[in-house]
Amino acid sequence: MQRIDYLGADRFSALGDTPVLVVDAASWTKPASPLQAVVVGIDREGSLPSTDRQAFDVLLTTFDAAPKPWISIDQAQFDDTVQRLAEMVHANPVAATIGAQVLRLSSGLSLPEALQVESFAYSTLLGGAEFRRWQDASKRGTSTPVPADPVLGLRDGNKITMQLNDPDNRNAMSAVMRDALYEALANILDDPSKPNLTLEGGGKCFSTGGSLPEFGTANDLAEAHVARTLHSCATALDALGEQATVRLHGACIGSGIEVAAAAHRRIASPDAWFQLPELSMGLIPGAGGTATMGRAIGRHRTMWMFLSGKRIVAAQALDWGLVHAIEKQG
């Protein structure tokens, strides 16, 4: 039996010198000791080895168009990509390792339970040094005033079209917009006629995510957790089931895809693209992304998007299952 080294466990965590492990996917065996470090399994040969996939947080291969949960990386860019992932973890090791743990835990939970876990972790990180460092260094500016009606609704019989209505701020998910969206979704859930909903964004994009000037402004992080989970737009959208369709175009960043991923039908325009930028801010997704996107594309690919911060385009989103269809133009 392998001896468990509890005293040495700090090494493989945000507190130690190894918050990320880059290992050969074919031969690595998970140690018996507690492991908080991000584990990146690599397959340079493109052989897609049979391995315990649950032992890894990300799996990278040179195999073209690799199946889930692998991420295909061009051979010429493979080493640089691996190095960049490791650098991203070392830049914000607490957020990166907590993100990995949340995704590991959430994979076996219901969506509401997974959202609770995410929110606990998110509130913790809002009080952390990595987020404060981003706050001190960032130039977030100010947003233009939010429209009086940040969410518009039009009903035609048993069909409701709902539109995010703050194009001047690229439909940034401000507190006002989030509350209006939740109220509108809750009203549909309470409607005994069970109308069908189409949710879309007005202007050039669906949503660029949370309103940056509002980040970190909550006075009580514990109370913020309560509000975040009680008034979760992702929970409400998921509860609508087959009643809800989301149409995505342009930038879908952070909460702009995290909430949308809860919808049971997701349609993208050819120009849609998707990104999780939170790690660079010392945070994890906080609008439901670890739960909704983990369910849609799996925790390994969600972790890849979180760690890398890279955009994925509509075609890749369709291949991964983040969207169900790409609408035809013309």
Residue ranges covered by each domain of the chain = 9-91, 111-326
Could you tell me the two tokens for 90? Answer: 């070392």
Q: Are 12 and 18 in contact (CB under 8 A)?
A: yes
Q: For position 330, what pLDDT does the model report?
A: 59
Q: Which of 99-103, 198-202, 214-218, 231-235 has the lowest mean pLDDT?
A: 214-218
Q: Are 49 and 24 in contact (CB under 8 A)?
A: no
Compute and round to an integer the Cα radius of gyration of the chain: 20
* pLDDT band at residue 304 using 50, 70 and 90 as cut-offs: very high
With tokens 């990386």, the residue in question is 73
- Please give the CATH topology (third level) of the domain spanning 111-326: 2-enoyl-CoA Hydratase; Chain A, domain 1 (3.90.226)
The percent of residues above 70 in pLDDT, for the chain, comes to 98
Q: For position 33, what pLDDT does the model report?
A: 77
Cα 217–Cα 223–Cα 225 angle in degrees, nearest 5: 85
Residues 279 and 284: their CA atoms lie apart, in Å, by 6
Beta pairing partners, 160: 155, 197
Beta pairing partners, 60: 42, 71
